[in-house]
Amino acid sequence: MTEYEAYVLGIRVIIRQNIKTLRVYRDSALVVYQLQGEWETKDIKLVEYKKLILDLLKEFDEVTFHYVPREENYMADALATLTVAFKAGGKLNMMSIDMQLYEYPDHCYQIEEVKDKKPWYHDILQYIKIQSYPEEATENNKRTIRRMATGYVFDGEILYKRSHNQVLLSCVDVREGKMILEEVHDGVCGTHANGHMMARKFMR
């Protein structure tokens, strides 16, 4: 509902500017694909929002929607940061702000990417399955792997992390983790559980 509210407010402002070509970039796949008609709008609370927005869009000659994944939506993150950093009133003259767009977020340049394409839990899984260690593992590394492995359970083809309350959390790689977070954020999983519970997949 918050995403739809943002659409309504933004479109009404644009209509007042007499703009006739509209390109919408949002990081909510749910709203973008619902407005495009690719996804069905099942939630009764959103049906009226969708109807209102489609009526407003009749004011434009051309409208296109573009889904931008949240991790790529750098401009929105930067503007949100600036919003909470500055307090401006009607009588305050704001200095101009120069912004530069980098290919990756700054923290990504500080992280050394692993190139072997193996999931983070690969060594633990290999030890549990066949009691093997990485070729370069020292005795200290082997002890660490054995100690860590006691907190995991292998069932079928899935490795689980045993939590402090004995709940088994399935281990996922980076690709699966991103997919799960996107689905939770976009509401694909429905409302039978809150976001925190739905995100309790063990990943790294």
pLDDT digits (tens, 9 = 90+) for 15-64: 888 888 988 887 777 788 888 888 888 778 888 888 888 888 888 888 88
Q: Which domains does the chain have, with CATH numbers?
A: 2-71 (3.30.420.10), 122-198 (no CATH)
Regarding predicted confidence, which is higher, 65 or 79? Answer: 65
The dihedral through the CA atoms of 193, 199, 200, 201 has a sign that is: positive
Per-residue pLDDT of 120-161, as tens digits, reads 888 888 888 888 888 888 888 888 888 888 888 888 788 888
Quickly count: other Cβ atoms within 10 Å of residue 6's Cβ.
13
Instruction: Determine phi and psi for 43, rounding to 5 degrees.
Output: -70, 120
E strand or H helix at 149? helix 139-149
